[in-house]
Each structure stands twice: as structure tokens, then as C-alpha cells.
Amino acid sequence: MKNLLKHHETYVLLVIIIFSAIITVINPRFLTLENFFDVVKSYSFIGILAVGVTFVLISGGIDISFTAVATVAQYVMAVMIIRYGGNIFTAFLLAAAVGISLGLINATLIYFFNIPTIITTIATLNIYYGILIVISGGKWIYALPGWFRAFADIRLFTLCTDEGIKYGLSIITSIWILVVIIAWVILRYTKLGRGIYAMGGSMNAARRAGFNIFRTQMFVYSFTGLMAGLAGLVQALLVQTVAPNSIVGKELDVIAAVVLGGASLAGGVGTLFGTILGVTLIAIMSNGMTLMRVSSFWYNVFIGLIIILSVAFSAYQRRTKAKRAIAVEVE
């Protein structure tokens, strides 16, 4: 119990539970499997981006360019499958390849020029997005192939509500789940993953201990690129429209979700479980607001309040701990 209280995640989970209870009392349809599957599916795009961001934050860096990477990957993928055809695997390969390549460019710039990651990736965000807009002219793409549409509609299993509305575990959601599992194994059970934590905890110590900083950094940024590429694909699957201006601008939402989940902007700290909770909290906030029939005018106010509430919980806990540490045993 005492151990649980040490983790930031516990507090976010607590906020989620309290908040879910309130929503359910007001609208019981919140706590239905149908709503659950719908929400998880809608947030798979943000969720996959968040996995990538978690990696960079743990490694002690930051990536702002991931939305541009997602956009470019999505656009290139869409253009190619429309022009040359293909199937869902080519779509995956294309999005992943573009994402990894752009991520590698980020990593190379950061490693060799030793520029702060935030500056580098703000620059590459503009470069990637700018080049895409110049080449594409900002044209939207709606005419995606039929198989692309069909793939998005696949459910691994289907359930039915009393009113006869079908729902279930979408293939899109399972991409997210798969990504999370792989990422979790990497972070928790591989040398590489522990190297990312070590690097974020203390770059110098990691170097002295014999971690290959170059390789780890390359991996982190190309992995974030890969996640962005996959997220771009997933977003295209979700809305069946590729609009270059629809993803860029969501950087801060994603970073906020990850930080809400306990990752530190200073590096070294963060877990995938926390990230999932962070995304969940953001998701049920938005979902719950509508379900509680709160006027949209109040959305932003509530979102801000709940973010503060969940951060305040663990900040307060940390402060009392610090207080206890300096306290003197007075007789």
C-alpha cells in the first residue's frame, strides 16, 4: 500500500476512478462496453503517438516533430497506394519506412550537431510539414482505395447492444494494443530499454557505464518516428481522409497526456502504464463531458481543472515526503 502511494500512476488512476464514478452516476451509458470500445478506438491515434513520445521523454529528450512525421508518412502512404495500388501491408510498410527515416534524420541532427532536441525537432517539424505542403499543395485526399476502407471496418469480435447497434474490438484498436505490448517489452525487458532509462537518468553515468549512447539515441528517435508513421496510418484508417493540416497542431495534447501519465520532461522517468492512464484520462474527460451533457463552452475549463487536480495529487504527496525528510525528531 505504502509502495503504491509512491507512484504517480496511482493518483492518476484514482482521479480516473472518481471521475468515471461521477460520470456513470449521471449517465449510466458511460460505463458500457460499447462506449469503452468506441473510446479506445477513437484514441488509438493519440495513444500510438503517446507511446513514441514516452520513449523520447524517458530518454531525456523531447520530440515536437512527430505530428509532422505522422502527416508526411500518412500522405506519402496515401499517394502511393492510390497511384500504385497495394494492400494493407504495403500501406504499413510505407508509413513505417517514412516514419523511421524522418526519425533517423532527427536523431542524426541531434547527435552530430549536439543541438537541444526541442530546437532541432521544432525545426524539423517545420521542414517536414513545409516540404509536404509545398509538394502536395495542401490537397486533401478522399479517394482512398476500397480495401483501405474495408480494413478499417474489421472487428476482431463483434457484440451487439440491446438496440441492435454493433460494436466490438476494432482492428485499429488492436494495432494500438499490439504497439503498447511491444513497447512495454522493449522498455521493461531489454537492455536497450533499460539503456533509455539510464540515458535519461544521467547521460554521463550512462556513458561511463558503457551504454552505447549513439545507438540508443538513434533507436529512440527512429522508434518515435515509427510510432508517428503508424499513428498517421491509423488516423487515415479512422477518418478515411488525408488532410495535411489535420494532425500538426496536436503535439501539445499528446505531450500533455504523456506528462499527465507521470513522464518527466527532465527525462528518466515515465512508464507505459502511466502513459496509457494519461491518454485514458484525457479521453474520458472529453467523452464524459458530452455524456454528462455539459455544455461545450465549459470543456476547456474542466479539462484544465482536471489536469491540475491529477498533477496536484502527486505533487502534494511528493511535497509531504520532502517535508518528512527534513523534519527533525524533536524530543
Q: Which is nearer to other proteins, 108 or 202 (CB)?
A: 202
Nearer to other proteins, 167 or 221 (CB): 167
Identify residue 160 by its one-letter amino acid code. Answer: C
- The x, y and z cell numbers of residue 283, run together, are 479521453
- Of the residues 66, 197, 219, 221, which one makes contact with other proteins according to CB under 8 A: 197
- Smallest distance, other proteins to C-beta of residue 208, A: 5
Q: Does the protein bind other proteins through residue 1 (CB under 8 A)? A: no
Residue 121 binds to other proteins (criterion: CB under 8 A): no
CB of 286 to other proteins, least distance (A): 7
In the range 245-284, which residues lie near other proteins by CB under 8 A?
245-246, 268-269
Bridge partners of 167?
A: 159
Q: How far apart are CA 187 and CA 52, in angstroms?
A: 12
Residue type, 267: G
Nearer to other proteins (CB atom), residue 299 or residue 313: 299
Among residues 56, 81, 96, 198, the one that binds other proteins under rule CB under 8 A = 198
Longest CA–CA separation in the chain, Å: 81
Q: Which residues pair with 159 in a beta bridge?
A: 167
CB 169 within 8 A of CB 41: no
Q: Taking Cα atoms as reference points, which of 185, 198, 204, 162 lies closest to residue 59?
A: 198
Residue 330 is a binding residue for other proteins (CB under 8 A): yes
Element (H, E) at 160: strand 155-160
Q: Is 202 one of the binding residues for other proteins (CB under 8 A)?
A: yes
> What whole-number distance in Å separates Cα of residue 258 and Cα of residue 275?
5
Give the separation between CA 65 and CA 210, rounded to whole angstroms.
30
**Which 9-48 positions form the footprint of other proteins (CB under 8 A)?**
27, 29-30, 34-35, 38, 42, 45
200 binds other proteins (CB under 8 A): yes
CA angle centred on 18, ends 16 and 21, rounded to 5°: 105
Q: Which residues bind other proteins (CB under 8 A)?
A: 3, 27, 29-30, 34-35, 38, 42, 45, 130, 133, 136-140, 142, 153, 164-167, 188-194, 197-198, 200-202, 204-206, 208-211, 235, 238-241, 243-246, 268-269, 286-287, 290-293, 295-297, 326-331
